Homo-oligomer: A and B are copies of this chain.
């Protein structure tokens, strides 16, 4: 039952921002932090319910809002929308998403500084951010016919 180090970190962040550390939040944070796939609110709900059968879906939405405001999670882009979230990568790390099973891994992307300033000067935009994602099929899904869930 080794606990992911990020759990403590996230809970501290919540506390430092005036939020109480509740059972519901603890469960949600634990599952979010350790998930290898981007999750829809309902997925997360189903998973967390196993640890806390009384948990409500509303609490999932509310907690996700809070974590988002603290910049701890990010929406993951997929062909059919951005309904899934995952812990936010830092700096130059980006997501590689399996379009079959949803599993993700991170990779270190190029340095976008030069491209960013080039684009800025060409367009007049004040460029502040970028998002890069790769899509593909993970090794497991390449082997077996259907994506392992």
Contacts and interface: CB of A to CB of B under 8 A. Distances in A.
Contacts of A122: 107
Contacts of A116: 134
Q: Which 10 A-B pairs have the closest CB atoms?
A: A124-B139, A127-B136, A82-B82, A125-B136, A129-B135, A126-B137, A107-B119, A81-B82, A130-B134, A132-B132
Interface in A91-142: 96, 98-99, 105, 107, 109-110, 115-116, 119-120, 122-139, 142
A137 B82 CA distance: 22
A49 interface: no
19 contacts: A75-B77, A75-B81, A77-B77, A81-B81, A81-B83, A96-B119, A96-B123, A98-B125, A107-B123, A110-B110, A120-B136, A124-B139, A124-B142, A125-B136, A126-B137, A128-B137, A130-B135, A131-B131, A131-B132
Q: Decide if the interface of chain A is mainly helix, strand, loop or mixed.
A: strand
**Chain A interface residue bracket vs B:** 35 or more
Nearest to A131: B133
B105 A125 contact: yes
A110 B115 contact: yes
